[in-house]
Amino acid sequence: MKSKNKLIKNLSNISKTRRSFLRSTLAIGAGGTALSLFPGLAARAENVSGTIRYSNWIGGPGDIEMWENVIAAFEAAHPGTKIEYEPVAWTEYWTKLNTQFASRSAPDIIGFQMQSRTWGVEGRFEPLSEPFADLLDGIVDSQLKVTQAPINGGMEQYGLPFRMVGASLFGNISSMKAAGIDYPSEDWTIDDFVAAAKRLTNADQWGTAVTGGPVDLNQASTFGARPTTLDYSTATFNSPEYTEFIKWQHDLIYKHKVAPAPADLSTQKEPFSSGAVAMFPSASWMYPGYREIESFEWDILPDPIGSHEPKTYAGPDNLGITTDSKNKALAIAFLRFVFTRASQTIIASTGMPVVIDYLLDESRIAKEAASGPANYGYFVKGAVERGEGYAFAPPFFEILGHINDAYALIMNEESPDIDGILANANARIQQALDA
Amino acid sequence: MTSKLIQSATHMPPDSNQTVRKFSLGDITANTILVVLFVVIVVPFIWSAIASFQTPLDFVSGKGFLPSEWTLTNYEKVFTDIPMTRMIFNGLFIAGTASIGGVFASAIAAFCLAKVSFKGRALYLSIVILTMMIPPAVLLIPFYTIMYALSLIDTPWALILPHLTGSAFAIFFLRQHMLTIPHELHDAAIMDGCSIASIFFRIYLPLVKGPMSVLIIINFMLHWNDLLGPLIYLNSVEQMTPTAGLSFFRGQFATEYPVLLAGSLVCIVPTTIVFLLFNRQIRHGLLITGLK
Amino acid sequence: MSQIKSPKATVIWILVFLFPPTIGLGLVYYSAVQGLTMGFTNWNMISSPKWIGFKNFGQIWNDYRFWASVSNTLVIVLVTVPAQIGLGLLAAVLVHRTKGKTSTILRFVYFYPTTCSVVALGLMWLFIYDAGGLLNQGLEFVGLESVRWLGYGNALLSVCILIIWTGFGYISLIYVAGLAAIPEQYYEAAHLDGANSWQQFFNITLPMLTPTTFFLIIVTTIGAMQTFGQVYIINGRADSTLTIVQYIYEKAFTQFNMGYAAALSWILISFILILTVIQVRLQRYWVSYDI
C-alpha cells in the first residue's frame, strides 16, 4: 500500500503541467466502477450509433480473442453500434496501414507503438487531449508520454496506451531447486547471477542466454548502459558502459560457458518454455505461453544489480483515432470504453492494464500471481517505478535492427572485433536518429 | 558411361536392342538421380506432416523424430480459431476465376502477338514483357487507390479483376508455344477464308490447351498462395483466403508454429487435388502438337 | 514464317483480342508512372511529396545496405538460375525416358513444391535449417558437426538451396513438354544416319529446346532478381540475405520512405532491363525456332 500511495503522489506531481481543473477528476482509490470513475462516459455513450473500423496487429495468441471480447462488451452496452475488427499479422500491419493512409481510407481506430510522434504532427491522428481530458490522469504517466507530441508550443496527446508490456528475468524454479539455488533476494548481484548460471548449466540446459534487444534492457541498465541518450538525440551504443555490458555477455558464452551462441539456439522452439535455458530475459507478452508450461515450475526473478540499479523495460501498445475516421463520436466512445474496468480486465489477461488504480489493485495482482508468475508484483512495481524503454524513439525498428545485427556478429564468434562492430553500429544508429 | 546415360535419356525410337538390355550403368545412374531427387523433395513434407501432429509441449521439448503422442489439436485449432472452411471457399473462388479468366485472355493476346502481323506488334510485346520487370512494391499503393475508388476493397473482385486482363508471363509463355506450331494449318485456314477469330478458336485454342492447362494450374497456385494481396485488399476475417488467414497465427513475439505448420498443410490439400485432377489433362495437352 | 496478313476486317478483331491486356497494361503503367515518379520526391506517404530531383539516387549510391542487397541479389541470380535450369533439364530428360505410373508420379512429385506457397515452404525449411532441425539431426546421425544454416555466413546459401529445391521441378515440367514436342522422326532419321546418343542430344534435343531454354532463362532471371518471399521468411541477420526487393519493401512500408523505395525500384528495373536486353540480343546466336 505504501508504494502505491507514493506512486500516486508522483503521478499527481508530474501531471501538474496539465490544466489544473482536470486534477479534480482524479478519483484514484475510490474503488468505484469505471462509470463512476469517468462520469463523462455515460453521458457520451447515449448518442453514438453506426459502424467504425478498428485495426490492430496481432501481438500473440490471445490478442484476437481479447479484442473480440472487448468489442462484444461495447456493442452490448451500446445497441445500434458495430465495431468492425480487422486484425493483421505484425509483419504486414504497417504495409497495410500505409497503403490505407495513402488512399485516405485508414480505419477509424488503429493500434500503433511510437509513430504518433511524427504522424500526429503530420495530421494523421486526431488530437485526444480534449476529449479524453478526464481520463488522462488515471493512466500511467510514463506510458502516456510515448504518444505525446509537441505542437503549437504545447504537448498534444495523439494516442492512448491500452496496455503495457515489459521485460523480466524469468527463472526455471524446478531447475534452480535441483541445483540447490534458493530464490534470489532483490539485492543479488550480477556476480551472484553468473555463479548461479554456472551451477544451472549442464548437458541438457544452459544457465542463461544472450537475447539482444529490447528485453535485455534490464540487464544493460545495471551497467548504466543505454543504446541512445534519453532524449533520443545521440547514439551511445559504443559508450564504455555499453561496451562493458556487451563484453560481459560475450564472456557468458565464451569464458563462463553458461550461455549458447545465439545461432545455436532454435528459432522456433522458445528457449525458456522448452527448458533449454534456465534463467532467461524475456517479456510479459510471453505470459500466455509460459502459463501452459507443465514440465517445470517457473517465476520472475529479481533483476541482479551491477554498478547501477536495474531498470525495467516497459512500453505501451497504443490506440489512436485517425483523421480519416468518418464517425468520430463512435470512435471516441469506443476508445473511452477501453479504459473502463470491464475492458481493462479483459486486456489484463494479455498484458498489464494502464488505469492506475486497477493496475496497482492488490486483488488483481494476487489473481495474476496465482496463474503465474508468482512474483508478478515485482514486475508491476518495476514497470511503474523504474520503467524505461528506447522503444519510443521514432526510428525504433531501425535501432533495434542495428543492435541485433551487431549481436549476431559479436555473439556468434569466439574473438570478434567488439569495439569495431560497436563503433560501426553506433554510427548507423546515429544516422537513423538524425534522419 | 555417360554416353549410355544420354542414350537412355534422350528420346529413343523403340528398338529391340535397347529394350532387351537391362540395368546398364547408365540406367543405374539415371535411376539413382531420379530417386535421390524424389527423396529430397518428399522427406521435408513427410517430416513437416509428422511434426504437425505433435502436441505444443512435444514441439518445444521434443528431441526425437516421432511425436510421443499423436494429436489433432493443431488441426482443430486451424478450423475453430479461424473460419477456415469459409476461407477455403473464398480462396477457391478467387483463384479459380482469376486463373481461368486470366489465362484465356492471355491466350487470345498471345495468338495476336504470335500469328497475326500488325504494325507495332513487336513494340506491344516489349511493353507487355516490360511489366514483368516492375517491382510489385511500386504498384501496391496506386493499385490500392484504384480499387478503393472502384469500391472493391474487402471484396474478392479486388483480387480477381486485375488478373482478368491476362498476365505478361502467360502471354509470353503462350506466344513462345504458338511460335513453334507449324504454320501449314493456318495457311490452309486462310485459304478457306476463315476470320482470325475462327482461326484462333478452331485451330490454335485446341493446340495450346496443354500449355494453357499448365498455366491455369500455375496461376491457380499463385493466386491461392498469394499472401500480401489478400492481406492488403481484404479486411474482414470472413473474406480472407486460407493462405492469408493463417497469418492470424503469427504474432509479433509469439507464433504458434505447430498450428501454422498444420494450417500450411491444410492449405496444400486443395491445390494438390486441383493438380491431381488436371494432371492427366496437362500430360495429354502437352503431348498434342500441331503435326500429330 | 508466314503470318496472317492484316486486312481491314481483321483490325477490329485485333482490337477486340488485345482489349483485356491493353486495359491491364494501362492499369500497370499508370500505377508504375505514379509510383516511380515518387523516386524524385521525398514522399513519406503522409505529407504531400516534395520534388527533390536526384537526391535519393545520390543517397543510394552511398548506402551500404543498397550495395549489400545488390550483391546478395546477384549471388542469388548467379547461383539459382544455372542450377535450376541445369537440374530441371537433367530431371526432365531422365523423367522423359520413364514410362507409365513411374513417370506420372515423378512428374507430380518434382513439380509439387511449386504448387505450395512460398510462406509454407519457407516455414518448413525454417524447421529443417533450425539449430536442432532435420538437417543437423541428419548430420549428427552420420557423425558430422552440425552447421549454422541460418548463421551470418550461410544464410544466403541456404536461401539459394530453398529456391533451387522449389523451382527446378517447374522447369523440368516445362522441359518435359518441350521434349514431348520434338517430332520422333528427327531421332529416327539421326539414328539411321548413325548418330550416337551424344550427337543426338546435342544436335537435336538441345537445339530443339532452345526456345524453351531462352524463355526459362529470361523468366527465372527476372524471378531471381525479384527474390522476396523466401528471404521474407528466412531472414539472415546483418543484411546477409537482404535482397533489392526486400530493401524496397522495407524502405517503403516499415520506414515509410516511399520516395527512396521508388528510386530503388528505378535501379532494379534498370538492372533487369539491361540483363533482359542482353539476353534478347544474344538470343540470335543460340536460339533456333525452326530447324
CATH code: domain of residue C51: 1.10.3720.10
Q: Where are the alpha helices (DSSP H) in A46-108?
A: 63-77, 90-102
Residue A14 near chain B (CB below 8 Å)? no
d(CA B230, CA B224) in angstroms, rounded, equals 10
d(CA A297, CA A173) in angstroms, rounded, equals 5
Q: How many CB atoms lie within 10 A of CB A361?
A: 18
Is the same domain home to B228 and B166? yes
Burial group, residue C209, by CB count within 10 angstroms (0-12, 13-18, 19+): buried
C-alpha dist (Å) from residue C64 to B185, C67, C238, C267: 57, 5, 12, 15
Residues 6+ apart with CB under 8 A from B28: none
Task: Report chain A's mean pLDDT, rounded to a whole number.
Answer: 82
Question: What average pLDDT does range C275-290 have in this prediction?
Answer: 80
Of A101, A123, A408, the CB nearest to C45: A101
What ipTM score was computed for the predicted complex, to two decimals? 0.80
Is the same domain home to B200 and B240? yes
Report the residue of C171, C196, C197 to disrupt the B interface, i.e. the one with the largest count of B CBs within 10 Å.
C197
| Percent of chain A's residues with pLDDT above 90 | 31
Across B59-77, b (16+ Cβ under 10 Å) vs e yields bbbbeeeebeeebeebbeb
What is the structure's pLDDT at B1?
A: 37
Inspect the interface and report whether the beta carbons of C18 and B187 lie closer than 8 Å.
no
The interface residues of chain B toward chain C in range 86-125, judged by CB-CB distance below 8 A, are: 105-106, 108-109, 111-112, 115-118, 124
Instruction: Confirm whether C208 is domain-assigned.
Output: yes
Helix C258-286, helix C19-37: angle, nearest 10: 130
Cis peptide before A373 (omega within 30 of 0): yes
C-alpha cell at B248: 492470424
Question: What average pLDDT does range C238-261 have in this prediction?
Answer: 83
Contact by Cβ (8 Å): B114, B178: yes
Number of domains in chain C: 1
Is the same domain home to B97 and B234? yes
Amino acid occupying residue C127: F
Instruction: Confirm whether C151 is domain-assigned.
Output: yes
Backbone angles phi, psi at A160, to 5 degrees: -130, 140
E strand spans, A13-112: 50-57, 81-88, 109-112
Neighbours of chain A (3+ CB pairs under 8 A): B, C
pLDDT at position C62 over 50: yes
Contact by Cβ (8 Å): B261, B53: no
What is the structure's pLDDT at A36?
A: 38
Q: Residues C207-223: pLDDT tens digits?
A: 888 888 888 888 888 88
C-alpha cell at B125: 510485346
Q: Residues B236-292: pLDDT tens digits?
A: 888 889 888 887 777 776 677 788 888 888 888 888 888 787 776 665 555 443 322
Question: What average pLDDT does range A183-211 have in this prediction?
Answer: 92
Instruction: Confirm whether B5 is domain-assigned.
Output: yes
Is the same domain home to B27 and B129? no
Say which range, A67-81, B156-170, C182-196, has the weakest mean pLDDT.
Answer: C182-196
Residue B109 belongs to domain with CATH number? 1.10.3720.10
pLDDT at position A108 over 80: yes
pLDDT at position A425 over 80: yes
Q: Name the residue of chain A whose CA is nearest to B151's CA.
A: A105
pLDDT at position A200 over 90: yes
Burial group, residue C171, by CB count within 10 angstroms (0-12, 13-18, 19+): buried
Largest alpha-carbon pair distance within chain C? 75
State which residues form the domain around B229. 78-287
Q: Residues B113-158: pLDDT tens digits?
A: 887 777 888 888 888 888 877 877 778 778 888 888 888 888 999 9
State which residues form the domain around C168. 41-286
Task: Report chain B's mean pLDDT, rounded to a whole number.
Answer: 78
Of C30, C94, C183, the CB nearest to B34: C94
Count Cα neighbours of B137 within 13 Å in the Cβ-side half-sphere.
Answer: 33
Instruction: Confirm whether C11 is domain-assigned.
Output: no
Question: What average pLDDT does range C91-105 have in this prediction?
Answer: 83
Is the same domain home to B99 and B179? yes
Instruction: Confirm whether C210 is domain-assigned.
Output: yes
Is the same domain home to B96 and B237? yes
d(CA A212, CA A192) in angstroms, rounded, equals 21
d(CA C82, CA C95) in angstroms, rounded, equals 19
What is the structure's pLDDT at A14?
A: 35
**Strands A50-57, A81-88: pairing kind:** parallel
Say which range, A14-28, A349-363, B92-106, has the weakest mean pLDDT.
Answer: A14-28
Residue A89 near chain C (CB below 8 Å)? no
Say which range, A232-246, A364-378, C125-139, has the weakest mean pLDDT.
Answer: C125-139
Of B60, B140, B254, the CB nearest to A60: B254
Structure-model confidence comparison of residues C42 and A70, the more confident one: A70
What is the structure's pLDDT at C84?
A: 94
CATH of span A165-313+390-434? 3.40.190.10
- Of A301, A304, A272, nearest to A168 by C-alpha is A301
d(CA C171, CA C191) in angstroms, rounded, equals 28
Q: In chain B, which residues have their Cβ closer than 8 Å to the Cβ of A68?
A: none
Backbone angles phi, psi at C249, to 5 degrees: -60, -45
Instruction: Confirm whether C30 is domain-assigned.
Output: no
Looking at mean pLDDT, say which of A115-119, B17-21, C217-221 comes out highest. Answer: C217-221
Is the same domain home to B42 and B91? no
Instruction: Confirm whether B85 is domain-assigned.
Output: yes
Inspect the interface and report whether the beta carbons of B117 and C276 lie closer than 8 Å.
no
Is the same domain home to B199 and B250? yes
Residue A412 near chain C (CB below 8 Å)? yes
Q: In chain C, which residues have their Cβ closer than 8 Å to the Cβ of A409?
A: 152, 237-238
Instruction: Confirm whether C268 is domain-assigned.
Output: yes
Strand partners, A53: A84
**Read out DSSP for chain B?**
-HHHHHHHHS-----HHHHH--S-HHHHHHHHHHHHHHHHHHHHHHHHHHHTTS-HHHHHH--SSS-SS---HHHHHHHHTS-HHHHHHHHHHHHHHHHHHHHHHHHHHHHHHHHB--TTHHHHHHHHHHGGGS-HHHHHHHHHHHHHHTT-TTSTHHHHGGGTT--HHHHHHHHHHHHTS-THHHHHHHHTT--HHHHIIIIIHHHTHHHHHHHHHHHHHHHHH-SHHHHHH--SGGG--HHHHGGGGB-SS-B-HHHHHHHHHHHHHHHHHHHHHHHHHHHHHHH--TT-
C-alpha cell at C222: 527476372
User: Are A2-164+316-388 and A165-313+390-434 in the same CATH fold?
Assistant: yes
Reported as a pLDDT band with limits 50, 70 and 90, residue A279 is very high
d(CA A139, CA A411) in angstroms, rounded, equals 39
Residues 6+ apart with CB under 8 A from B84: B78, B242, B245, B263, B266
d(CA B169, CA A412) in angstroms, rounded, equals 43
Instruction: Confirm whether B215 is domain-assigned.
Output: yes
d(CA C86, CA C79) in angstroms, rounded, equals 11
CA torsion sign for A132, A137, A140, A143 is positive
Question: What average pLDDT does range C100-104 have in this prediction?
Answer: 80
Kindly list the domain boundaries of chain A, sorted by start residue. Answer: 2-164+316-388, 165-313+390-434
Is the same domain home to B82 and B43? no
Residue located via cell numbers 504517466: A141
Reported as a pLDDT band with limits 50, 70 and 90, residue B63 is low
Instruction: Confirm whether C254 is domain-assigned.
Output: yes
What is the structure's pLDDT at A9?
A: 37
Inspect the interface and report whether the beta carbons of B252 and A90 lie closer than 8 Å.
yes
Across B160-181, b (16+ Cβ under 10 Å) vs e yields bbbbbbbbbbbbbbbbbbbbbb
Number of domains in chain B: 2
C-alpha cell at B131: 511489366
What is the structure's pLDDT at A391?
A: 54
Inspect the interface and report whether the beta carbons of B279 and C215 lie closer than 8 Å.
no
Reported as a pLDDT band with limits 50, 70 and 90, residue B7 is very low
Inspect the interface and report whether the beta carbons of C181 and B289 lie closer than 8 Å.
yes
Residue located via cell numbers 528431441: B63
Is the same domain home to B94 and B234? yes
Question: What average pLDDT does range A77-83 have in this prediction?
Answer: 90
CATH of span A2-164+316-388? 3.40.190.10
Is the same domain home to B268 and B161? yes
Is the same domain home to B167 and B208? yes
Say which range, A26-30, A83-87, A422-426, B169-173, has the weakest mean pLDDT.
Answer: A26-30
What is the structure's pLDDT at B254?
A: 67
d(CA B265, CA B271) in angstroms, rounded, equals 10
Instruction: Confirm whether C193 is domain-assigned.
Output: yes
Q: What is the CA radius of gyration of chain B?
A: 24
Return the SS3 of A270.
coil
Inspect the interface and report whether the beta carbons of C110 and B132 lie closer than 8 Å.
no
pLDDT at position B11 over 50: no
Cis peptide before B14 (omega within 30 of 0): no
Return the SS3 of A136.
helix
Q: What is the CA radius of gyration of chain A?
A: 22
